Amino acid sequence: MQENTPPQIFLTDADGLESFTKDAMVVLALTRHEIESGHFASALERLHVLAGSRESAMRYQESLIFIVEGYDDDPRELQEVPEVRDFFAKLTDQWPHWLWFLNRQMGSISLLMSLLCKSEICRDSSGVIGVEILDTNELKTKLLDLLRRGNAMFACFGITDEQANASVQSALNKLR
């Protein structure tokens, strides 16, 4: 996404997103019903649009955030909800391009990795203060898997090694 252009909010489905040609922040809104039923086809369809062409891959680089609706009254953090973790594991098995598309400023990369890896919520008397990923080897394995499987998009769309490496480095910097 171009830094000088303010993002727009555009509510649409996969078909609308596919025909949209402006820079935008893309919000993948997932409902509790989708999560608990395990039906990730709609989410996958929307994500495939982002990675469907070189133009959209470049336009929406680092423009994706995801929200999970319906758990506001649940006292657990998303990382503590097995259905949410299972949903993201299955979705990620089908779509590995998170590191290219996730926004760097909203904590999305850390949230995703804490959903994909064993993690623990750190609390003090005032509430949640952070999330600890318990096994750094698991984190490395998950990241390497995403990169390995994501390379197909880079090769297909002529995304250079320099572009891919810069994206990966910026994602890793957010995990530190």
Torsion angle defined by CA atoms of residues 68, 94, 140 and 64, in that order, rounded to the nearest 10 degrees: -40
Check whether 166 has a pLDDT greater than 80: yes
31 - beta bridge partners? 69
What b/e sequence results for 67-98 when a residue is b if at least 16 CB atoms lie within 10 Å of its CB, and e otherwise? Answer: ebeebeeeeebbbebeebbebbeebbeebbbb
28 - beta bridge partners? 66
pTM above 0.75, yes or no: yes
Strands 26-31 and 127-133: unpaired
What residue spans define the domains of the chain?
A: 14-175
Which pLDDT belongs to residue 98? 98
Spell out the SS3 assignment of the chain: CCCCCCCCCCCCCHHHHHHCCCCCCEEEEEEHHHHHHCCCHHHHHHHHHHCCCHHHHHHCCCCEEEEEECCCCCCCCHHHCHHHHHHHHHHHHHCCCHHHHECCCCCHHHHHHHHHCCEEEEEECCEEEEEEECCHHHHHHHHHHHHHHHHHHHHHHCCCHHHHHHHHHHHHHHHC
pLDDT in tens, 85-136: 999 999 999 999 999 999 999 899 999 999 999 999 998 888 778 899 999 9
Which pLDDT belongs to residue 59? 92
Task: State both tokens at 160.
Answer: 């250079």
Mean pLDDT of 31-55: 95
Check whether 9 has a pLDDT greater than 70: no
Among the ranges given (54-58, 124-128, 158-162), the one the predictor scored with the smallest mean pLDDT: 124-128
Strands 119-124 and 127-133: antiparallel
Average pLDDT over the chain reads 91
Check whether 12 has a pLDDT greater than 70: no
